Every structure is written in structure tokens, then in C-alpha cells.
Amino acid sequence: MSKNGKDGWAKLKTLTLTKGRYFLADIPAPASGYYRAVYSGSANVQGSVSPVLKASLIQTRIKDYKVTSKVKKRGAIAVSGTLQHAAPAWKAYGGRKVMIFFSPKGKPKESYLLGEVKTAANGTFKKSFKERGDGTIFALHIDTDSNHLMNPKVTGSVDVK
């Protein structure tokens, strides 16, 4: 990452190619700046540098995220929060879809879509879902437009009694 796209490049993350072909990673980075990928090469593959890309996207976040933490078997889990975007100060981001996911306890890499909810004009959302056992409920604003970034994942734990 560079502030001007010419010098002062900072390494954000080092990745390992999967099966020698590709990489996939979440890399925390500022919403605005210049980015490039650098591959230093190996004994069999020549190194390369990607073209420089300029990013000037608007950040999003979910504030005041709440999940019903203790639920009776066959009960409902209430999920709520407020979607905001920095345009330029943080303010409500209404009329947008927030996707709600569940990861079972002990299986953090497995995630299931519980459903989606549309934010009100003031950015708030609230929806209940049938419990699926102990685990983690997380919310993401995935349905972004070309000017916005996806929010950092927010989570809440559920304990079924």
C-alpha cells in the first residue's frame, strides 16, 4: 500500500499460494490508497508485480450489534444493529441488505446463511431466527455498490439451553 502510488510502499500481508496457483485472503487496509500485489517468485515461477490500483471507497460498519446470547431449545435468536457508512463522517446507511450467518461451535470455518434483513432509513435492522445450536452469529453487508466496502465482520455468541 502506498499513499501516492509511487513510493513508500508498505507490506500489508504475506500470503502463500494455494497449490501454487492462487491466493485468497482478507487483508485489513485503509479504504483509500494505492495497492499492488507482488510475487517474489520461486525456483520454477518468475516473480511479478501487478498494476497499481487506486482505491477510494467508502467504509461501512455495523454499530451496536446485539445477538440473544442465551436461548431455549427451539427458541428464537434476535439479531439487531445499525449499518453506517463514512460519507465522510459516520451516518446511517438505510435501505441496504445485511446478511446474517451462523457458524456452529467448534466449526468456525463452517458458515450457514440464516437470512437477510433490509436496514430502515436510520440504518437499523432487527430480525429473529430459529436457533441452530450453540455457535456464533455474524452479520455482513455484502451487497455493496461500487463505492462502498464490505463491513468488518461483527459477531455474537449463542448458547442454547
Q: Are strands 135-140 and 97-104 parallel, antiparallel or unpaired?
A: antiparallel
Taking 80 as the threshold, does the pLDDT of residue 20 lie above it? no
Range among 14-18, 115-119, 129-133 with highest mean pLDDT value: 115-119
Contact predicate 57/31, CB 8 Å: yes
pLDDT digits (tens, 9 = 90+) for 130-148: 999 999 999 999 888 878 8
How far is the C-alpha of 158 from the C-alpha of 44, rounded, in Å? 48
